Amino acid sequence: MSGAAPDPIAFETVEIQANTFQETLLGLEYTTGPGRPADLFSRACVEQYADLRLDRFGYLLAQVFEPNVLHEAALLAGLSYDSLADLSHRPTEPVERLAALVRDAVDLPVTALVNTAAALISVSRFDPAERLLADAYSRAATPRERFEAAMLAFVVTNRRDDGADSPRQFDRMREAAETGEVPEDRVLDACSQAVVWYLKRKELPEAEYDWFRATGARLAETRDRLDPGAISSWYRALAMVPAAVGEAETTRRYMEYAREAAEDTMARRPRAYETHFMKTYHESSLKEHMYLTRDLDRAEEAGRALIALDPAWAPSYGELAEAYAAFGRPEQAAALYEQAVAAGPPYVGYHMLRAARCHQKAGADDRALALHRDLARLAPDDEQVLRAGLDLADGLGDDTSRYRFQTALERLGHAGTRGAGPRAEDR
């Protein structure tokens, strides 16, 4: 990839090299080689951008990350976050092209504005995406244009603003859908999002949730004429409803529908994007068996399947580690969290913090302290990390580490704190 970044942060206890995810987030391209495969997200993201069309809707988002992920990528690469967020850092031709589209947005039609915003969202450039979407909605002349602009505006507020503007965007999506001029697959996608984010964070009023849930159920009855990817997402979302009240059998039935639809879409279009439907099925299954059935064997089976499907993806190791931690297996959890750290971004800081806590729970305070020293390099303004490191150093009688943490805390004083890259609740 052109425009190499400065040397990454030097850690004491782990070696973290730039992986294909970091390259994709920074430059919308990546390099592979022996022992360096591309993760599914990077493949799907780069493929979609390479096929960008400005004249028709259909830009696909395999996964959307919150701003903290771009902050972490900037830190690891030794770059300014602001230079990434505003596209002033343009290390590759794909980013140059994206910046040019943003610069010339006034001349773009609504469809092009929406698709350009989708490309920006795919690499966590939310501020320019928001501006393009506001312009797109104000200029929209059809229900489809209003729906697509509102759908992406929801994604932005969900990831960047904790969903503050979600009710307005869902209302806009519903208004457009009720005209009958929005494809049913897209309406079902909106229904899936409404169910998930109502159950997780109440991001829309109950009456809106009821409408989207009822509409999704009606559309799913005609699933033979709908895209199986949309069906898979719907049933994964719907499974959250019985799961919330402890109905394991109904939850599993919906999850099986989701799996069957995921297999169908992969068979029709064996691309990285479609493989994400099976990946998210395994992620949801793991949580199902962690929190609902409380079955460690089945949780472990889902986690191993998740890793096997995308072995280059760091968060998959973290997902299984989370299950081991929940079932009281801190040693196994710590080992997997460290695998996630070594695999690189996203969520290096979160995985490092979780590994340290699991080591501490398992009685390996020396390893926990070493990881806290690395965390202090990644998040030097995180008071919680510094105080936990100081406590560990005190307990172990490590005067050198105690001095480092104490000095860092004194420097920090009463300034505001930043987190060490915590995960968003939905990935």
**DSSP for 271-304, written as a single string:** SHHHHHHHHHHHHHHHHIIIIIS--HHHHHHHHH
What pLDDT is stored for residue 88 in this prediction? 96
Query: Quick check: 119 and 59 in contact, CB under 8 A?
Result: yes
Dihedral sign computed on CA atoms, order 300, 304, 309, 315: positive
The count of other CB atoms within 10 Å of the CB of residue 46 is 21
Query: pLDDT class for 156, splitting at 50, 70, 90?
Result: very high
pLDDT at residue 23 in the model? 96
pLDDT for 378 equals 87
Give the pLDDT of residue 233: 97
Mean residue pLDDT of the chain comes to: 93
Residue 5: band (very low, low, confident or very high) from pLDDT cuts 50, 70, 90: very low
pLDDT in tens, 280-298: 999 999 999 999 999 999 9
Query: pLDDT confidence of 412, banded at 50, 70, 90?
Result: confident
Please give the pLDDT value at position 9. 60
- Supply the DSSP string of 307-323, one letter for each residue: HHH-TT-HHHHHHHHHH
* Token digits of residue 309: 């499907």
Strand, helix or coil at 36?
A: strand
> Per-residue confidence at 425, pLDDT binned at 50, 70, 90?
very low
Sign of the Cα torsion 374, 377, 379, 381 reads positive
Mean pLDDT value across residues 400-419: 77
pLDDT computed for residue 34 by the predictor: 86
- What is the rounded average pLDDT of the residues 153-179? 97
pLDDT at 275 over 50: yes
Q: Give me the mean pLDDT over the 357-372 stretch.
A: 97
Coil/strand/helix, residue 14:
coil
Vertex 52 angle, CA 46 and 58, to 5°:
105
pLDDT at position 14: 67
Residue 367 has pLDDT above 60, yes or no: yes
Average pLDDT in the 403-423 region?
A: 69
- The residues facing 36 across adjacent strands are 33
Q: For residue 279, what pLDDT is reported?
A: 97
pLDDT computed for residue 18 by the predictor = 81
Q: Say if residue 128's pLDDT is above 90.
A: yes
Contact 334/364 with Cβ under 8 angstroms? yes
Q: What is the DSSP letter of 37?
A: P
Q: Residue 200: which pLDDT band, with cuts at 50, 70 and 90?
A: very high
Indicate the pTM of the whole model. 0.92
346, 318 contact by CB (below 8 A): no
pLDDT class for 10, splitting at 50, 70, 90?
Answer: low
pLDDT the model gives residue 170: 98
Cα 151 to Cα 79: distance, rounded to the nearest angstrom: 31
Confidence check: pLDDT of 212 > 90: yes
Which pLDDT band, with edges at 50, 70 and 90, does 35 fall under? confident
Comparison of pLDDT for 137 and 33, the residue scoring more? 137
Percentage of the chain surpassing pLDDT 90?
A: 88
The pLDDT score that the predictor gives to residue 413 is: 80
